Structure 1
Amino acid sequence: MSDEAEPGFVRVRLDLSYDGKDFSGWAKQTSRRTVQGEIEDALRTVTRSSVTYDLTVAGRTDAGVHARGQVAHVDLPAEVWAEHEEKLLRRMAGRLPLDVRIWRAAEAPAGFNARFSALWRRYAYRVGDRPGGVDPLTRGHVLWHDRPLDLDAMNEAAALMTGEHDFAAYCKKREGATTIRTLQRLHWVRDAESGVLTATVQADAFCHNMVRALIGAALFVGDGRRPAGWPAEVLAAKVRDPAVHVVRPHGLTLEEVAYPADGLLAARAQEARNVRTLPGAGCC
């Protein structure tokens, strides 16, 4: 996966959002509706191309997960970009389904890679704990928890989780992939009017199911079933704990992806590709 477009091609950055309810995740699949599949089909149609131009995305969201600040890139032949640049957004809006929108399409700076150049991804997970349930108008984006939640206890637990750790206990293991991540921020707030609790979860990158597993552990602390130190104890064990519940996807939204200054994009992409180990750990 190159950090530069091939000669004769232009790398285009796409900023987009989608409601994940009716998608089987980001990545295209045979006979399943996905965000990537819809965008690539629309792009092929509006550019009247005989080939599909593959997208590279900052964060491959799971089925049912939403995005407000997703970023992707696509390499287009220079002549295709020149022909369609000015009207691409409007034409894509007319072709795409209403649950996915592209807000910006622009030539990317040198060295830009939507996935590897990213400094961090920020997610929000929203939970309602009112006895009567969740507002019907927000039910597609807020999880209902049927026990009252202690915000202070959840933030006490969250404070013990930040930093660089091996998150194997909170990730679905993938062969050959590291589970070492730097969790930069994990913090809960409660909206005074709606009562909805929102967790901000920010890291350089996430492994599969990591955010939803972290939220599941936090909810057990918040409703009193586990002490505040329990999520950190699970983290230190570095093995999946069957007591950690992976919460449903609809409460999760990718809110923002951040990138360094243009001159640092390629260096960041190279750094992100390096296999990480924790201090004191062996190389293999």
Structure 2
Amino acid sequence: MARVLARARALPALWRFLRRSETLVTTPTVTYVIQTLGEEGLFKQALAAFYRMKQLHCKPDVRCYNAVIAALCRAGWFRKARFLLDQMELPGARCPPDSYTYTIFITFYCKRSLETGCRKAIRRRIWEANHMFRRMVFNGYTPDVVTYNCLIDGLCKTYRIGRAHELFDEMSKKGCTPNRVTYNSFIRYYSAINEVDKAVNMMRDMVEREHGKPTSSSYTPIIHSLCESHRIKEARDFLVEMVEGGHVPREFTYKLVRNALDCAGEEGLPEEMCQWIEDGIDARIKQVMRVKPLMRR
């Protein structure tokens, strides 16, 4: 009920319900409320719910701290979020942070760096993400593949490929196996700067090392880069390889390759394959249209 009221943004009714149900309210209940308020963009109310826990006779745990820190970072209130982290890191703190706490900071630092067009702001946010990563390691926490992926993706999108490769090599040394998300960050980077051969090598390395199987997210940037480089035959081959792997390309990618083949006078795609792709695209559109009315509610 508390989560329903939070989603409906009925805040007065939410606080009344929590006060009347003090005997039933637990720490997970308040955590879900904070998480929901943060997702709805009610950041001040999420922070207020965190500080009201004492009135409800609840004590925050690490999941509760992570929920309010995520809400604050989503709002860009990093100073307040770091204040909570400093409290968690105090010697003898009842609720010390975990690896996910630091991952939240790294994720939102990288996201915020991409939302600004100011180079100085980008450098600042990426520096803070790297600093938080080192702070995490210094405090004795082991980064997992999600932490590495968040930082590597942010570095690749801000064209700091040297540091991204350092982290990629560090993963192997520390026994943290990269996955498809890790490789896709490099594939998108090399495709964006028109070094598509390196992107292809990254995808082939992923398959050879058995770190994952390429999906449409892996093939799409490579195909687009090949079309921009006028390597139409190779783009066609990759599209065929993608379809044979059971993946339906995006409508834009499919039309891009077909138009490029027609303009270059090259052999087109087989009719059976074209029909299978078009049926898959239609099925995807119908699925999205069934979901959209639910999202409006």
Is TM > 0.5 for Structure 1 vs Structure 2?
no
Structure having the higher helix fraction is 2
Of structures 1 and 2, the one scoring higher in RCO (CA 8 A, sep 6+) is 1
Q: TM class by shorter-chain length?
A: under 0.3
Structure of larger gyration radius: 2
TM-score when normalising by structure 1: 0.23
> Which TM-score applies when normalising by structure 2?
0.22
